[in-house]
Structure 1
């Protein structure tokens, strides 16, 4: 008889259905990042680099929390998330702990465990989520956390950055308007989704957050530039120094105060040193002092960047004029004003040469008003320069158009 030898089946690892599901989830979470321009991320990282508290406003599900997780990972900062709406005021102000002799030692305020972990780490990203659902008492307790960086008896180290997120009251669960004192301590950034970013991210590649590269040689210049811009604006517009809105909803957003102007100055210096775009700077300054004052500051910065009229009059044939029409108009008007203030034949001729250059390099209608004003400054003994011939057609055409428009308006 032949003895039967049982066959041996090789051992295979035993996988449960949950193990397979876990493998699938791992693959789904395996995403990459790439350097890609994103003005929202750049504005956020600039404010984080400047050590200013940031508040991201956006509808639910738009990616605020995901952006903070990605930011913490990119900057190699441990992330501590605190849901403000589920905490009591004492969780931020500290709980009183009675010691051996409170009459002598006092009663210290014990901080929560997450604050102790941040202090021990010495660095990190404190994420205050759902801020607009925190009741007024909790918002009041957060004032000291955001401004003084104190939680109970602890002070957060310099390596900790603070970022918060909130939904508009219309879409927040049992939402509250942000109190004016708390709102004025934040840089407010409107967080929206970008179609291409979402599609590419769902495909596995998200934009990479990175701290701005500040040019060391530009730091003193950036500070002087920011101070000159903010101080110049507020000198001419003193009413902008402090304007707390009357409307409760608007008080929960950015508005001008000495504190928020200091933040705007700081961010202007950081954006200048980093060579950031005007779009990024616009988001930041409007997020600190509000849309109106922020746009006035941007206009002030534009005027600071304009060339000196005397420099243009010294070399009109090779002068570089701004590309933007509104700035070019300001420059041409300034040149004519400079000639009016100190008129002489050479300066008058140089201004005509400059107007011809403006005609050749930009919209013809921008030279009409300066040319008309400059022509009125001619003295009897000044010969008409040849350059005027090139501008005559533009000015006369503009005047005819004005007469036609006036006639059409009177006939209605």
Structure 2
């Protein structure tokens, strides 16, 4: 059964959930939300980031690991009242003073016998006599049977209790909203800028009868491998076991190029006239450099980072290399500045841009060109 709603990127889904939280806090719409998406697309990360942004305590319930009685609680006999009373489980929010996010993960993989118990949480926001606090935000997530994951078809009684978000993976959205903020190795966004089709390959992998697919989650794991495993042979084996042999072989070539040519710390520390020979000469290397500069931008480094980013667009004027003149340097510089400006606005670095002669020259050249 398909999820017949408009697809959204993970960044768009995060924005929708944030607005849903704000609406709930303001006394407007109170709803339960459902994130549909292939394994590894980033559903859990969206909810974790939302809880962090809210300042909420996250209650993460993996529904495949619990039984109905685990949600209802433990019964005991009240002799004085002559009735059975239920102890509430500790995994449910109950503090009206502390914002909370109740995450019902793997909802579509939960045994059918558990789903009626979940109905009350999603619609009436209660289990037995236990009511969720008003400041509790409820989000569920799951895969579909077509994703190659263990999953049951969602019945209408469950579906009707949710607002559904169908996630799709795009390289640009994932790079801007996850890879860069999380400081993943710059080789990852540089590679995916050239091969966006390799961000998420689950459907193609299933069709080929293969086990290992590229996913946003697996590329985040590749970043950790690159950062922590210096031995190239061992690293290549690990990466192939994470994203598959063919994507790993392509990525290894890009990584080798970047490792040999991208020296961000050295470039930031160098004098302006000494920086030109330190720029990479390949498109992969320059792409990785722009992402690495964004990651390296801090209060103490933003001024040289702006100068180095502007230098990407001017490199062909300072290096006598025919290869550089054939590269889209202006486009790469503009792309890098767009992402750097997003970070600058969030960090309050507008003054650094206003005071930078390199930024002023870049902006003037853009205005002269009518861009």
TM-score by length of 2: 0.42
